[in-house]
Structure 1
């Protein structure tokens, strides 16, 4: 499983870097072209598509790397056993939330299949598909972290 995790982690790093660089480039070039009277209307739709995928794939990338935003001012003063319970409860809550996102995300994909982007001959479902796919990736990360939290003894 570690080899698969490494492959997913490296792939997510490449994909998110590509999406971020593409969004920045497309927005810049579209702005310059609009200034000269040649707007690239399709660039906005591509940027929207990439931004949606960047958000969900990037969310899992941050979860895997342990770099999510965390308010630790109160957490740091808690005893180890309370921290462990807090981590497990947070993991279970995240699992529930992600399962809801997966369920309704797939419903959203099915509903948006016939909707097209404004300037592209591309189904909007490709954009909404990031919700269940990214949530599945995050769910696997949460489960892996939850198992690790349960197995790791609390420091006394």
Structure 2
């Protein structure tokens, strides 16, 4: 259990570093492409590479937002529910989201396999590098949501008054 918590801390730090780094890299590539275009030597690969990185930032950032409870939500009516009903509703919603994430994992893998022979225009890279963000990001979100779900269920069991 101690190793798992240590691994989780290291993973969170690595994911935060990676998402921050990728965002800076995207800004750098777009800026570099703009400067080169202004100088009369446009780099077409820079924009495609930035788009590839952006897809990864979206899915890694979605996991980060899920972990930090930063996703946008409308909770006007949910806040009016009693604590126990709110907890049960959150568990149901988490299960539904996990089912959708399983769908994304399965079909994201199929999409990545189908796109393995397709090349990104102006880059000698397979389009699978882009589409792999879907199943990998969804798997990370599934793991994060599973841990949060376990915590919610344990909290509901230990505090029956809620």
Q: Judge same fold: TM > 0.5, yes or no.
A: yes
The 2-side partners of 1:144 and 1:25 are apart by 35
Partner secondary structure for residue 23 of structure 1? helix
In 2, distance between residues paired with 1:96 and 1:57?
19
1:36 to 39, 62, 67: 39
Q: Deviations over 1:99-150 (max 9, x none)?
A: 0000000001100000011111111101111111111100001110111111
Counterpart CA distance in 2 for 1:121 and 1:71 is 43
1:69, CA displacement in angstroms? 1.3
* Aligned residue in 2 for 1:99: 102
**Structure 1 gap ranges (5+):** none
1:121 and 2:124 correspond: yes
Q: Which residue, 29, 48, 51 being the options, matches 2:51?
A: 48
> How far does residue 32 in structure 1 lie from its aligned partner after superposition?
2.2
Corresponding residue of 1:139: 142
Name the structure 2 match of 1:151: 154
Match in the other structure for 1:66 = 69
Query: Segments of 4+ in structure 1 off by > 3 A?
Result: none
The structural deviation recorded for 1:81 is 1.1
Instruction: Give ranges in structure 2 of 5+ residues lacking alignment.
Output: none
Please give the root-mean-square deviation of Cα atoms over the aligned residues, in Å: 1.2
Q: How many residues matched?
A: 156
TM-score by length of 2: 0.91
Corresponding residue for residue 79 of structure 2: 76
| C-alpha deviation, 1:36, in angstroms | 2.2
